Structure 1
Amino acid sequence: MAAHYGAHEVMEIHEILSDTIDGINQFQLYRPHVKDHQLRSILDKQLQFMTQEYNNMVQAINQRGITQAVPYRVPRTATPVYGLNNPDTQTPNTSIHDMDDRDVASGMLGCHKASAAFRMMASLECADLELRRMIQQGAINCAEQAYEVWQYMNQKGYYQVPTMKDVTTSTMINTYSPASTGQIRQYQ
């Protein structure tokens, strides 16, 4: 591996593989706390995908035969629910026995969000185009997995989406207008 990759690439792939192991281990710790069948199904599917993606990355760097990373497919099951509807007060658990489906889903979401950002940053340090694309696809996969968990949380009321007054939203959005291509001067 060392002869084909730069120092940044070696360190980044080391960090990504370690992060992936941590995520797999974290999800395994969550599993006994899941009560909801739908959440268990999401966790199991994602855990299987994360393990396969890890194995693919290890194989790709060890055999120098990087192939296209497999994209994670998220079923779009429902329209997001916007607005706040009497959100529950949040406090830390006092015991591991207090962990519930909301805690598990929130932990899963946080794991995927952090991994997506981490992988995208790591891809920016890659000189090898194939490795770069594999890591970028990994970032997209984490973002898709995060969205799947977010959909579950939103539908259960665990993750509510605050909104602004219509006039505020409209004012913010309407402060931007398209650029005129005539404004862009070409330098010669």
Structure 2
Amino acid sequence: MGNDTMYQPDSAKFNHGGHEVLDMHETLSTIVGGLNQCVIFRDQIQDVELRDILDRQYKFSLDEYNILVESFKTGRDPSHPTGSYKMQENNQFTFGLKAGQPTKPITQASEINDEIISGYLLAAHKQMATTKLATALETTNPVVRRVLADSIPNCIEMAYEISLYQNKKGYYQVPQLSPQDMAIMTNCFGEATSISPSKFN
């Protein structure tokens, strides 16, 4: 049999497991794809408010990308910590559905509009959050894991900001249950009572 001594990397930049490296490549590729979409669609946006959201989110996401690349390459703390994205939309959703034309695929690029672009942005943030979470769960390097974990709430916040914008514009409708069903569903669970620690000994 071979040597029983496990290989220990002598440099922090090689302190990564195989699953981590492969998943990080997937994550960074997903982030690059989302950033590229921002560049491609920016000049096609008609609404100044949506362009402002895109610009703020792009700038923040680009910095997060650089932090993640730096920590992945070095295995050490990046030059500055992950920030916390602060959206500017209020958190007031309009609930309910209104009948409208069914959504269907476009047939030519000239049909691209703010509704479609904001939908791309929302999908990109959801994909990035999902990919970062899956990668963080496979990450052995403590710095990279922390950078990934710290960035996930920012994806959630940016997705929330886009969904609020879409809801305000009527692009994103939010159905609700009836008041009776809502009351039943929100009261299906109760708080647990404390159990003495000795019960687990």
TM-score scaled to structure 2, two decimals? 0.85
Match of 1:112 in 2: 125
For residues 125-152 of structure 1, the C-alpha deviation after alignment (integer angstroms, 9 at most, x for no partner) is: 1122221110012222111110111110
> Tell me, which stretches of 5 or more residues in structure 1 are unaligned?
none
Match of 1:95 in 2: 108
Spell out the pairing of 1:110-149 with structure 2 (5 A cutoff).
Answer: 110-149=123-162
Is the 8 Å Cα contact of residues 83 and 160 (structure 1) preserved in structure 2? yes
1:14 equivalent among 9, 12, 25: 25
For residues 6-29 of structure 1, the C-alpha deviation after alignment (integer angstroms, 9 at most, x for no partner) is: 112222222211111111111212
Greater C-alpha radius of gyration: 2
Match of 2:54 in 1: 43
Runs of 4+ in 1 over 6 A off after TM superposition: none
Is the 8 Å Cα contact of residues 87 and 160 (structure 1) preserved in structure 2? no
In the TM superposition, residue 81 of structure 1 has moved relative to its aligned partner by 1.0
Match of 1:52 in 2: 63
Q: Distance in 1 between matches of 2:14 and 2:74?
A: 13
In the TM superposition, residue 2 of structure 1 has moved relative to its aligned partner by 5.8
CA shift in 2, pair 1:185/1:76, >3 Å:
farther
Q: Distance in 2 between matches of 1:174 and 1:54?
A: 41
CA RMSD of aligned residues (A): 1.9
Q: Distance in 2 between matches of 1:11 and 1:75?
A: 35
Match of 1:65 in 2: 76
Q: Distance in 2 between matches of 1:185 and 1:89?
A: 59
Is the 8 Å Cα contact of residues 125 and 156 (structure 2) preserved in structure 1? yes
Greater alpha carbon shift after TM alignment, 163-172 vs 79-88: 79-88
CA shift in 2, pair 1:87/1:179, >3 Å:
farther
Over the matched positions of the two proteins, sequence identity in percent amounts to 30
2:37 equivalent among 26, 31, 39: 26
Q: Distance in 2 between matches of 1:87 and 1:56?
A: 43
Q: Distance in 2 between matches of 1:130 and 1:113?
A: 23
Is the 8 Å Cα contact of residues 46 and 145 (structure 1) preserved in structure 2? yes
CA shift in 2, pair 1:187/1:63, >3 Å:
closer
